[in-house]
Amino acid sequence: MHDRINLHPNLNNEFDEQSLLFHEALQRIADSVKPVSGFEQCDVRQALGRILYADVISNIDVPPYDSSAMDGYAVRGDDLPPSGETTLRVIGESFAGHPYHASLQRGECVRIMTGGVVPSGADTVIMQEHALRQGEKIVIGSSYTRGQHVRKAGDDITRNAVVLAKGRKLNPADIGLCASLGIAGVQVYRRIRVAFFSTGDELRSLGEPLGEGQIYDSNRYTVHGMLTRLGIDIIDMGVIRDRPQDVHDAFVAAAQSADAFITSGGVSVGEADYIKQTLESLGKVNFWKIAMKPGRPLAFGQVQNAYFFGLPGNPVSAMVTFYQFVQPALRRLMGQQHITNPSIQVPVATPIKKNPGRLEFQRGILEHTPEGRMVVRITGAQGSHILSSMSRANCLVILPLEMGNSDAGTLVEVQPFEGLV
């Protein structure tokens, strides 16, 4: 035990050779998590947010025919005058949903509306503003190019093209795209089931009175919210007391009922030893000290066929480690490919307090200055127990391991909480 104790620590420097780097931990998890097998057929509207199990392939060209991009007249390119003007006879009309069925002959044109089928023989559309209508005739000039204002068949998608690839998470545009192909149902990965419980003798659930030295369990509620957002089937196992047998039994039950399970608390130095012993008999569980803040301790492993994530107990640490490690891993388990947490670079509006040695996730508020530039403000105290500041924040500010105190104006990387789609 003594080699762990340092009586003369440098408190302004948090480098620790024993710690695992953030990216190493992320990579180790990514390497071991494989997608579940199992899929279901899903009505396209119900498939929003689900992960495609098979490529979606187009059976048709979209648009299926040459159509007009403008209201005007469909004409033959050969009839466009090289100079001067020409007069064409209007022989019919092609409105959206009501095509003109005959073929255009020399000197003829057809009144056409946006989305209308370009009739055979025609290949060019003249905007109505550029054509002088005279009864059943129009006069056009010479400044047009063959093929203008025509949306060619297959412009958007060609027949047999892979339009959406396996592993894609379906967004509203994708749902519309399927509809545009006439596809009413898609194959998606089955939903995954995730169990979770909190550990700690001090924790009380909602509805229970607080005794001395007790606090309400917030992590179970936070985790519930984060899992719900991912579209996961949730098994809430409540609070488990800090007793080896209880923890052991909860692990066995969780591993039997879920694809993955998550716990909070009990992974820090000291506590970890007894949990470690308890878990060693069950499967392969790693306890990592990661060079990050908050969220230094993290447990990850496999118990029977279930993946296990042991989050730290402090409420902000639990959330940050969930978003950085567990969420991408669960997405992978759900079948999703190409998983990134999008980030942007913006100047910080407030000075940054930070010691070198750990990758740090501070809570921030991303906002526009009166001049319309985007900046980020640190929320203030960054204690890993201050959940209210996580609630006020709208982003995480990611500060590199080597960075120390920094001035306002420094460019920092920011992960916004919400996206447009």
Cα distance between residue 22 and residue 27, in whole Å? 9
Asked whether the beta carbons of 296 and 20 are under 8 A apart, the reply is no
Q: Pick one of Mg ion, ligand AMP, none as the site partner of residue 198 (Cβ within 5 to 8 A by kind).
A: ligand AMP
Residue 265 near Mg ion by CB under 5 A: yes
Amino acid symbol at 211: G
Interstrand relation of 203-204 and 215-216 (parallel, antiparallel or unpaired): parallel
205 vs 341, beta carbon nearer ligand AMP: 205
Span from 74-82, 131-139, 177-185, 211-219 in contact with ligand AMP (CB under 6 A): 211-219
Under a CB-based contact definition with an 8 Å cutoff, are residues 150 and 127 in contact?
Answer: no
User: From the list 35, 116, 167, 200, which residue makes contact with Mg ion (rule: CB under 5 A)?
Assistant: 200
Which lies closer to ligand AMP via its Cβ, residue 70 or residue 275?
Answer: 275
**Nearest distance in Å: CB 271, Mg ion:** 6
- CB atoms under 10 Å from CB of 54, counted, come to 13
3-state secondary structure of 185: strand
Instruction: In angstroms, give the least distance from the CB of 8 to ligand AMP.
Output: 25
Q: Dihedral, CA atoms, 164, 169, 175, 177, nearest 10 degrees?
A: -20
Among 198, 321, 324, 362, binds ligand AMP (CB under 6 A): 198
The residue (of 70 and 316) whose beta carbon lies closer to ligand AMP is 316
- Yes or no: say if 148 and 124 are a contact pair by the CB < 8 Å rule: yes
Query: What is the rounded CA–CA span in Å between residue 347 and residue 350?
Result: 9
Q: Pick what 268 binds: ligand AMP, Mg ion, none; C-beta below 5 to 8 Å, kind-dependent.
A: ligand AMP
x/- contact string, 269-298, with ligand AMP (CB under 6 A)?
--x---------------------------
Q: Which is nearer to ligand AMP, 111 or 220 (CB)?
A: 220
Tell me if 72 contacts Mg ion by CB under 5 A.
Answer: no
Three-state DSSP class for residue 305: coil
CB 338 within 8 A of CB 357: no
Please tell me what DSSP assigns to residue 251: H
Residues found near Mg ion in the complex (CB under 5 A):
200, 265-266, 313
* List of residues contacting ligand AMP (CB under 6 A): 198, 200, 202-203, 215, 217-220, 264-268, 271, 312-315
